[in-house]
Amino acid sequence: MPRFLVGGAVLVVLVAGGLLGFARLSGGGRGCPEAVARASEAEVAGEYEGPDGMSVRLRYDAGAGRGTFSVADWPYEDSPSYRKDKTFDTAGTWSLSKVSGVAEVQVRLSFLDPPRHRRPLSTLVVGRDGDERVLFKETDPDNCPSTVLRRAQG
pLDDT tens sequence across 99-126? 888 889 999 999 998 777 788 999 999 9
Amino acid at position 37, single letter: A
The parent domain of residue 8 ranges over 1-30
**Residues 23, 94 within the same domain:** no
**Residues 22, 95 within the same domain:** no
Q: What does each C-alpha distance from 48 to 69, 126, 136 come to in angstroms?
A: 11, 12, 10
- pLDDT level of residue 96 (50, 70, 90 thresholds): very high
Determine whether 113 is exposed, middle or buried from the number of CB atoms within 10 Å of its CB (0-12, 13-18, 19+).
exposed
pTM: 0.75
**Residues 60, 108 within the same domain:** yes
**Residues 64, 6 within the same domain:** no
**Residues 80, 19 within the same domain:** no
Give me the number of domains the chain comprises.
2
- For residue range 51-70, list pLDDT tens digits in order: 989 999 999 999 888 999 99
